[in-house]
């Protein structure tokens, strides 16, 4: 399985991803968890926005993240398993 860690802004549009790390302050990371974005969560980047902002799809919902926040979320690409 191909595995390379990167941040959300580095992720290609439309690729399937898994959240591997959140480097936000603890209280912000906690709110992110509460909203449904947690370690191991599967996501897709659906939209690039201005100033590095990203829109990601998680479990049917769309989340908009500003560029600075997106850059503090680590992901790994998820490829088709054999």
Partner 1 sequence: MSSCHGSAPAPTLDRSATTTMPDALRVLLVGGPNVGKSTLFNALTGARQHTTNAPGTTVELATGTWRTAGLSESDPATERSIVDLPGSYSLLARSSDEQVTADAVWELARSASEVAGQPGVVVAVLDATALARSLYLLAQVAQTGVPLVVALTMLDLAATATDSPTAGVEPATLAAALEASLGIPVVAVDSRSRADGGMRGLACAVDAVAARPRQVTGIATPEPPCSRGTTATVADVRITNGSTPNGPVSNGAVADIAQDLAHAETLFAWVEQVVEQVNASVATASDIEAHAASGRPLRRTFSDRVDTVLLNPWAGIPVFLAVVWLLFELTTKFAAPLQGLIGQLVNGPLASGVTSLLGLVGLADSWVQGLLVDGLLVGVGTVLTFLPVMAIMFAALGVLEDSGYLARAAFVADRAMRSLGLDGRALLPLIVGFGCNLPALAATRILPQARQRLLTGLLIPLTSCSARLTVYVLLASAFFPDHAGTVIFAMYLTSVMLVLGGGLVLRRTAFRDVRAEPLILVLPPYQRPHLRTLAMSVRLRVGSFVMRAGKIIVVTMCVVWLLMAVPVSGQHTVGDVPVADSLYSSVASGIAPVLAPAGFGNDHAAAALMTGFVAKEVVVGSFAQSYAVAKPADAAHAGSLGEQLRASFDDSSGGHGGAAALAFMVFVLAYTPCVAALAEQRRLFGWRPTASALVAQLATAWALAVMVFQVGSRL
Q: Does residue 16 bind partner 1 (CB under 8 A)?
A: yes
For partner 1, the binding residue among 8, 11, 17, 75 (CB under 8 A) is 17
CA pair distance 37, 60, nearest whole angstrom: 12
For partner 1, the binding residue among 6, 7, 53, 76 (CB under 8 A) is 53
Question: Which residues would be at the binding site for partner 1 (CB under 8 A)?
Answer: 14-18, 24, 26-28, 30-38, 42-44, 46-51, 53, 55, 57-69, 72, 77-81
């Amino acid at each position: 399985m191909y595995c390379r860690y990167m941040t959300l802004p580095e992720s290609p549009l439309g690729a399937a991803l898994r959240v591997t790390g959140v480097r936000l302050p603890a209280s912000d990371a906690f709110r992110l968890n509460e909203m449904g974005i947690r370690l191991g969560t599967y996501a897709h980047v659906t939209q690039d926005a201005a100033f590095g902002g990203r829109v990601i799809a998680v479990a049917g919902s769309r989340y908009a993240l500003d560029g600075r926040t997106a850059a503090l979320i680590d992901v790994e690409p998820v490829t088709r398993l054999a």
